A = this chain, B = another copy of it.
């Protein structure tokens, strides 16, 4: 390891304290550290910023034996991971996620991407990190919106995973909202393990991995139609989960009381129902343009019971009607 160079990519939101501590840690480990800071926010997850980072890596002589470390949330993980995938056709990559969402979701699975003007995550690569260092202590200063985005993914994992995880989360929802350290650590471990299991079964996505889209098809559409940043990602996804829960009753034989449990859980996690006016037609249009739509058909993941799920290819007419009902 000695003499190895490390490109530490972070953003202006990652507290100086965390950044400096991480840098000091790496230097203590005998590594030569070069720091690269991009502006915080989704706008940095672009083709252009990726190109600038790559030029910067080249200008400090980063070579194939070196590594790129992502210190930050999902934007940094995606951006730095994509750069690690393509720089010199791939060099080592380490994830140090500093948000709850990144610790339970974004840092696991090896999907990286940047946005194009035409849409989110349209250019990317599969790049497994050599290691993910998720330290829950760095979550201390995380803003509420960010916290809730992570909680939505924890809830998604629990619902898809098992009765056991779901019941645990129901029991610990209020402690999690209060950020009880022990509960947070357990939640991160459980949610990360859930995702790692799913991904291990199907790295390239299509069958098993599809369950991870629960709540995201409508969730992404809500974010897009409301204008990115207007609604926390987690709140949008939670709304998508509520919609999927209801759809599962009609199309996949789920019980109403399972819907009630999911709504209660999301309420307990302070992921409230949206009371925003969004045009149903615009939402359906956004879902259509989602890259996950295949062959023109939109597919929804529906939770059938704790631990079981189904996928539903749905035509746009039906979808429009159901989205209209949901928001009525």
- Interface presence of A119 (CB below 8 A): yes
Q: Is the CB of B291 within 8 A of A63?
A: yes
Q: Which of B58, B85, B113, B124 contacts A122 (CB 8 A)?
A: B58
A59: chain B residues within 8 A (beta carbon):
118
Report whether over half of chain A's contact residues are helix, strand or loop; otherwise say mixed.
Answer: mixed
User: How far, in angstroms, from A82 to B50 measured CA to CA in the complex?
Assistant: 15
User: How far, in angstroms, from A295 to B118 measured CA to CA in the complex?
Assistant: 40
Interface residues of A in 34-93 (CB under 8 A from B): 47-48, 51, 54-55, 58-59, 63-65, 82, 85-90
Q: Is the CB of A111 within 8 A of B125?
A: no
A124: chain B residues within 8 A (beta carbon):
86, 88-89
- Interface presence of A123 (CB below 8 A): yes
**Contact-size category for A:** 20 to 34
Q: Is the CB of B47 within 8 A of A51?
A: yes
Given A64-B291, A65-B295, A291-B64, the answer on whether A55 and B116 have CB atoms closer than 8 Å is yes
Among residues of B, the one whose C-beta sits closest to the C-beta of A122 is: B58
Q: Is the CB of A87 within 8 A of B123?
A: yes
- Interface presence of A178 (CB below 8 A): no
A295: chain B residues within 8 A (beta carbon):
63, 65
A116: chain B residues within 8 A (beta carbon):
51, 54-55, 58
User: How far, in angstroms, from A128 to B307 measured CA to CA in the complex?
Assistant: 37
A125: chain B residues within 8 A (beta carbon):
85-86, 89-90, 125
Among residues of B, the one whose C-beta sits closest to the C-beta of A51 is: B47
Which one of A48, A54, A111, A113 has the greatest number of beta carbons of chain B within 10 Å? A54
Q: Mark A21-42, 1 if CB is under 8 A from B, else 0.
A: 0000000000000000000000
Interface residues of A in 108-154 (CB under 8 A from B): 111, 113, 116-119, 122-126
Name the 7 nearest CB pairs between A and B, nearest first: A58-B118, A47-B51, A89-B124, A86-B123, A54-B123, A55-B116, A58-B122
